[in-house]
């Protein structure tokens, strides 16, 4: 349990730029209530130049830690005292934990995605093939998740192929029984794919935008699952196109809830049920600060 006995109220933060419309305060306020802890979670707009000072402020007594969102997830790595294996492998931190003056960086996006897919009944199995769309921090977390859960080949499809190739190079290992392949969408063996994860920002705040032509979705097998990390709008164009092909498709709210749940557990040692976080998201209204807001 990381909860100090000190009289100072417990604090956790979101550092992001922009931060105003984050859903995280809503989720963590609900979690503090459910845990019976009088904690305060505050979203702070932190420009890139102020990240070092913002992180240093986390070493104060009573501060549990912080979530990091754009543009800080990668920049924070060299500013922390230690990193989890996941954060190191992914190269991105979304959760900073303060323990006795030390700052530890973790990545709960990766297990958050795993739990969201578990909830949907996705059968992780050796030998399955996965497509990850995007090549930013979320995509790297998705590639890591697929690899540690035994998927055989991960195809990384990105608007800028060079960024996908950098991910391929990061995982290049001639002795491994898996492969990460940067590929244009046209080169993906769609008929052999069991999971498509959109980890790009395409579709975010853009109901008619999709990162994948519907013609590629039409080549997927009937059992394939399409998971869109985007959750604003809740029904993205990608999801609609996938459903039109008879495929199962889901938005990123489950991942958002699970990454928050796992961060809260790291900070407090308290396992608040996922329903508390999902409930906070589902009760959110559309509009500023509502369901369409950023993590
Ligand atoms: P990022 O580092 O900024 O990467 C954005 C990626 O999206 C890049 O690969 C970029 O391609 C691609 N992209 C942007 N606009 C595009 C478009 N119009 N068409 C095709 N590709 C486009 O962002 P990130 O941190 O990885 O996050 C990516 C997405 O995941 C965001 O929507 C974020 O909200 C979401 N996310 C959701 C959760 C969750 O819990 N549900 C957690 C983390 C992230 P280029 O390389 O060509 O620029």
| CB distance 166 to ligand 1 below 6 Å | no
Q: What is the DSSP string of 163-190?
A: HHHHHHHHH--TT-S-EEEE--GGGS-G
Q: Is 103 helix (H, G, I), strand (E, B) or coil?
A: strand
Q: Quick check: helix, strand or coil at residue 17?
A: coil
- Examine the residue annotation and report whether 248 is marked as an active-site residue of this protein: no
Query: What's the structural domain count of the chain?
Result: 2
| DSSP letter (8 states) at residue 272 | -
Confirm whether 197 is domain-assigned. yes
Instruction: Establish whether residue 290 lines the binding site of ligand 1, counting it when its CB lies within 6 angstroms of any ligand atom.
Output: no
Residues 59 and 71 in one domain: yes
- How much distance in Å is there from the Cα of 192 to the middle of ligand 1? 25
Expressed in angstroms, the distance from the first to the final Cα of the chain is 25
- pLDDT for the residue 288: 41
Same domain, yes or no: 229 and 136:
yes
Residue 267: CATH number of its domain: 3.40.50.10860
Domain, as residue range, for 213: 111-251
Our answer on whether the CB atom of 213 is closer than 6 Å to any ligand 1 atom is: no
pTM recorded for the entire structure: 0.94
For residue 196, list its beta bridge partners: 131, 226
Task: Answer yes or no: do 143 and 155 share one domain.
Answer: yes
State whether the beta carbon of 145 lies less than 6 angstroms from ligand 1.
no
Residue 8 binned pLDDT confidence (cut-offs 50, 70, 90): low
pLDDT in the model for residue 7 = 56
Residues 266 and 243 in one domain: no
Distance separating alpha carbons of residues 270 and 216, to the nearest angstrom: 43
pLDDT higher at 285 or 207: 207
Residue with tokens 């990091």, as numbered in its chain:
68
Candidate list 11, 73, 98, 115, residue with the active-site label: 73
Asked if 147 and 49 sit in the same domain, the reply is no
Residues 198 and 267 in one domain: no
Is pLDDT above 50 for 67? Answer: yes
Q: Which of 28-37, 46-55, 208-217, 277-286 is predicted with the least confidence, judged by mean pLDDT? A: 277-286
Question: In which band, very low, low, confident or very high, does the pLDDT at 287 lie, cut at 50, 70 and 90?
Answer: very low
pLDDT at 4: 47
- Best residue for ligand 1 mutational test, from 134, 143, 166 (most atoms within 8 Å of Cβ): 134
Q: Residue 200: its pLDDT value, please? A: 98
pLDDT tens figures, 120-178: 999 998 889 999 999 999 999 999 999 999 888 999 999 999 999 999 999 998 888 88
The answer to whether position 2 is within a domain reads no
- In whole angstroms, how far apart are CA 227 and each of 144, 184, 275? 16, 19, 20
Give CA–CA dist 3/95, Å, rounded: 16
Backbone angles phi, psi at 58, to 5 degrees: -75, -15
Measured at the CA of 240, the angle between CA 23 and CA 279, to 5 degrees, comes to 30
Structure-block tokens of residue 81: 């005292």
Mean pLDDT for the stretch of residues 239-259:
98
Spatial distance between the Cα atoms of 234 and 291, rounded to a whole number of angstroms = 8
Point out the ligand 1 atom lying closest to the alpha carbon of residue 160.
47
Is residue 240 domain-shared with residue 277, that is, in the same domain? no
Nearest alpha-carbon partner for 254 in 288, 223, 287, 231: 231
Residue range 4-10: mean pLDDT, rounded = 63
pLDDT in tens, 73-92: 999 999 999 999 999 999 99
- Please check whether residue 217 lies inside any domain of the structure: yes
Least confident segment among 124-128, 164-168, 214-218, 269-273: 124-128
How many whole angstroms from 60 Cα to the centroid of ligand 1? 33
Lowest mean pLDDT of 103-107, 128-132, 154-158, 289-293, name the range.
289-293
Compute the average pLDDT of residues 265-270: 98
User: What six digits make up the tokens of 89?
Assistant: 């492998």
Ranges 93-107, 182-196, 277-291: which has the least confidence: 277-291
Query: Which residue's CA lies nearest to atom 41 of ligand 1?
Result: 252
Which atom, in ligand 1's list, is nearest to the CA of 201? 32
- 136 and 230 together in one domain: yes
Compute the half-sphere exposure of residue 265: CA atoms within 13 Å on the CB side of its CA. 17
- Together in a domain, 103 and 209: no
- Whether residue 276 sits in one domain with residue 221: no
pLDDT tens, residue by residue, 20-55: 989 999 999 999 999 999 999 999 999 999 999 999
Q: Kindly state the average pLDDT of the residues 218-243.
A: 97
pLDDT in the model for residue 175: 86
Domain for residue 294, yes or no? no
191 with 244, same domain: the answer is yes
> Does residue 53 lie within any of the structural domains?
yes
- 293 pLDDT exceeds 50? no
CB distance 212 to ligand 1 below 6 Å: no
**One domain, residues 161 and 215:** yes
Residue 96 maps to a domain: yes
* Residues 204, 69 contacting (CB under 8 angstroms): no
Q: Enter the tokens of residue 91.
A: 């190269």
Banded pLDDT at 292 (limits 50, 70, 90): very low
Q: Residue 110 has what pLDDT?
A: 98
Mutate to test the pocket of ligand 1, among 135, 142, 200, 205 (most ligand atoms within 8 A of CB): 200
Would you say residue 159 lies in a domain? yes
Q: Is residue 241 part of a domain?
A: yes
Atom of ligand 1 nearest to the CA of 203: 18
- CA dist list (Å): 10 to 3, 37, 40, 151: 8, 8, 6, 40
């Amino acid at each position: 349990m990381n909860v100090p006995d000190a009289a100072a109220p417990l604090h956790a933060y979101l550092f992001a730029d922009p931060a105003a419309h984050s859903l995280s305060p809503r989720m963590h306020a609900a979690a503090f209530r459910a845990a019976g802890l009088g904690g305060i979670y505050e979203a702070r707009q932190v420009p890139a130049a102020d990240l070092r000072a913002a992180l240093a402020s986390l070493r104060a007594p009573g501060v549990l830690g912080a979530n990091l969102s754009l543009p800080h997830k990668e920049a924070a790595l060299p500013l922390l005292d230690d990193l989890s294996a996941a954060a190191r492998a992914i190269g991105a931190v979304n959760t900073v934990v303060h323990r006795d003056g030390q700052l530890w960086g973790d990545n709960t996006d990766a297990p958050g995605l795993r739990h969201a897919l578990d909830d949907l009944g996705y059968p992780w199995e050796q030998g399955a093939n996965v497509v990850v769309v995007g090549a930013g921090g979320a995509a790297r977390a998705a590639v890591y998740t697929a690899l540690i859960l035994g998927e055989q080949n991960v195809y990384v499809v990105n608007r800028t192929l060079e960024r996908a190739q950098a991910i391929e190079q990061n995982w290049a290992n001639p002795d491994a029984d898996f492969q990460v392949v940067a590929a244009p969408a046209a080169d993906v063996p769609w008929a052999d794919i069991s999971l498509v994860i959109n980890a790009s920002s395409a579709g975010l705040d853009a109901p008619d935008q999709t990162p994948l032509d519907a013609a590629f979705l039409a080549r997927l097998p009937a059992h394939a699952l399409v998971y869109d990390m985007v959750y604003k709008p809740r029904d993205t164009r990608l999801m609609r196109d996938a459903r039109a092909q008879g495929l199962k498709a889901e938005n990123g709210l489950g991942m958002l809830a699970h990454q928050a749940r796992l961060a809260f557990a790291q900070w407090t040692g308290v396992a608040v049920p996922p329903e508390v976080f999902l409930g906070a998201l589902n009760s959110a209204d559309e509009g500023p600060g509502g369901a369409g807001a950023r993590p």
